[in-house]
């Protein structure tokens, strides 16, 4: 009986673990997305960001992707408007729902980036305040 229960538990855990793992194609898609999002002047940046916001994120697979997105947003707002920068922070609206669904991953990414670069810390702190706001913009 004990052996049966142990086998059952191991089977369930294996199954859960297997379903959480990403397929090779999915990993490739996310890697491609991460590379494209690093180039904020790419014509597909807006649609790529919207696609990213739809993803179900996991810490194991997507922490680096989230970090890359946040880095891109910082570069985007610090670039002069004439060179394709955007000070309106419109992109934060696009990822707002993703933040609320995957807060823990974002928090970890923000913490990690803040520790590496003090300059980014202020911007990331503001992002966190904006994204975690419970009420609408006003």
Report in angstroms how near the CB of residue 90 gets to other proteins at its nearest.
Answer: 7
Residue pair 14/8 in contact (Cβ under 8 Å)? The answer is no
Does position 133 interact with other proteins (CB under 8 A)? The reply is: yes
Pick 22 or 94: Cβ nearer other proteins:
94
Q: Using CB under 8 A, pick the residue from 15, 90, 103, 117 that binds other proteins.
A: 90
Instruction: Verify binding: residue 39, other proteins, rule CB under 8 A.
Output: no
The candidate with the shortest Cα–Cα distance to 122, out of 90, 69, 64, 77, is: 77
Quick one: tokens of 56? Answer: 């179900």
- If one counts every other C-beta atom within 10 angstroms of the C-beta of residue 92, the result is 15
Sites of contact with other proteins (CB under 8 A): 43, 45-46, 77, 81-90, 92-94, 96-97, 100, 123, 126, 129-131, 133-138
């Amino acid at each position: 009986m004990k052996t049966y229960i142990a086998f059952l538990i191991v089977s369930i855990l294996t199954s859960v673990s297997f379903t959480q793992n990403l397929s090779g194609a999915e990993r490739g898609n996310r890697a491609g997305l991460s590379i494209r999002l690093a180039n904020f002047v790419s014509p597909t940046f807006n649609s790529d960001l919207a696609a990213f916001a739809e993803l179900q994120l996991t810490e194991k697979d997507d922490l680096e992707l989230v970090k890359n997105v946040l880095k891109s947003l910082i570069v985007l707002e610090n670039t002069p408007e004439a060179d394709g920068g955007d000070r309106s922070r419109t992109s934060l609206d696009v990822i707002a729902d993703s933040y609320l669904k995957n807060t823990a991953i974002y928090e970890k990414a923000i913490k990690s980036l803040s520790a590496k670069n003090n300059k980014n810390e202020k911007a990331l702190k503001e992002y966190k305040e904006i994204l975690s706001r419970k009420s609408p913009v006003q």
